[in-house]
Amino acid sequence: MKIQVVMSPEYAMQGPFSIKSDVFSFGVLLLKILSDKKNNEYFDDDPSMNLIGHVWELWKEDKVLEIVDSTIADNYVAHEISRCIQVGLLCVQESALDRPTMTSAIFTLGNEKKNAYT
């Protein structure tokens, strides 16, 4: 069994590990579950593009639902999946200071009235 380790940018560059590193890993896990893709799978023949970069590009183009795994594509509510992707993207912000707390991320996932952008 091969285990893929996902490191937050600050840990990979400087070595400090924090609670926000766990938030980053949670965001990657959330995006992997929704897409059924590995973070290191390449997209559009661009070897520098990973899952996070690909989802960000789709987000900017307002096509983010294209990332959803085909096995669940017919069984989801678009605004609920979009919310999950938004939370995933918030969790993988490059700067740890820009990431939500785990409490906030989980609360946002379960509360439709909570704005995912704050």
Single pTM value for the model: 0.78
Q: Is 1's pLDDT higher than 50? A: no
89 against 17, higher pLDDT: 89
DSSP string, 11-41: HHHH----HHHHHHHHHHHHHHHHHT--TT-
Q: What are the pLDDT digits (tens) for 19-52?
A: 888 899 999 999 999 988 776 665 555 655 788 8
Structural domain boundaries in the chain: 9-110
Q: How far apart are CA 30 and CA 11, in angstroms?
A: 20
Tokens describing residue 45: 């023949």
Tokens describing residue 71: 């096995």
What kind of architecture, by CATH, is found in domain 9-110?
Orthogonal Bundle (1.10)
Q: How far apart are CA 78 and CA 74, in angstroms?
A: 10
